[in-house]
Amino acid sequence: MMSIMKQTQEEPIINHAQFVTGVIGTDDVFDIDRKHVAFVGRSNVGKSSVINYLLGRNSLVRSSSRPGKTTEINFFEVEDDYFFVDLPGYGFARMGEKQREKLRKLILWYLMYTDATDRVTFVVLDAQAGLTDFDREIVTLLQSEKQNVYVIANKMDKLNQKQQHALKLQLESELKVPVLFSTTLKKRGRKEIWAKIVG
């Protein structure tokens, strides 16, 4: 395998990416020693689309216009190095309170209590919709645990340059974490995200 590290000056080419398993609790997958690259965020912000875009796949990860369907934590092995981890989207309006609480707990369990020796977490937003309270809570928790965390403002195609700039300033001053932008529609932001993954 050619090192992804060497390629990130350019657009990385992913030779191997494959679904491994979906989990809702303890699982053997946590015993495998790979760096976790986790994507968390409100339903419909584009987590699955961003993963597909980063991996250069059209539909490895199911993305859909029917939000709130995924209730498991989905693991994808990427080259020999990583698990990409697609967490269930939260805050979906039609989801009942009980189910919502269950997902919240599952996400917090994964982020706080699973044993990933090496992990980077991307909190993904819809650039137009902005932060939710749960996004804020997650960022704060990860910071207090000294875990690597970044915000991805996806769907940046919905904002003009001035709005993008204002959002970046606002988010970085509120959260004190680096903010990256992406659009899977116009295909921008891939290199910058990969730089944080390999970095």
Contact residues toward ligand GTP (CB under 6 A) are 41, 43-49, 63-65, 67-68, 70, 89, 154-155, 157-158, 183-185
Which of residues 158 and 196 has its CB atom nearest to ligand GTP in the complex? 158
Binding to Mg ion, residues 12-51 (CB under 5 A): 47-48
How far is Cα 38 from Cα 180, in angstroms, rounded to an integer? 15
Query: Cβ 50 to Mg ion, closest distance in Å?
Result: 9
The 3-class SS string of the chain reads CCCHHHHCCCCCCCCCEEEEEEECCCCHHHHCCCEEEEEECECCCCHHHHHHHHHCCCCCCCCCCCCCCCCCEEEEEECCCEEEEECCCECCCCCCHHHHHHHHHHHHHHHHHCCCCCEEEEEEEECCCCCCHHHHHHHHHHHHCCCEEEEEEECHHHCCHHHHHHHHHHHHHHHCCCEEECECCCCECHHHHHHHHHC
The residue with its CB nearest to Mg ion is: 48
Q: How far is CA 107 from the centre of its chain?
A: 12
Q: Minimum distance from CB of 88 to Mg ion (Å)?
A: 8
Q: Could you give the string, one character per residue 138-167, with x where binding to Mg ion holds by CB under 5 A and - elsewhere?
A: ------------------------------
Of 73 and 175, which has the nearer Cβ to ligand GTP?
A: 73
For position 8 contacting Mg ion by CB under 5 A, the verdict is: no
Least distance from C-beta 48 to ligand GTP, angstroms? 3
Nearer to ligand GTP, 1 or 93 (CB): 93
Nearest residue (CB) to ligand GTP, 153 versus 197: 153
Name the minimum Å distance from CB 70 to ligand GTP.
5
Q: How far apart are CA 182 and CA 22, in angstroms?
A: 26
User: Please, what is the minimum distance in Å from the beta carbon of residue 98 to Mg ion?
Assistant: 21
Residues 45-104 contacting Mg ion, CB under 5 A: 47-48
Q: Which residues bind Mg ion (CB under 5 A)?
A: 47-48
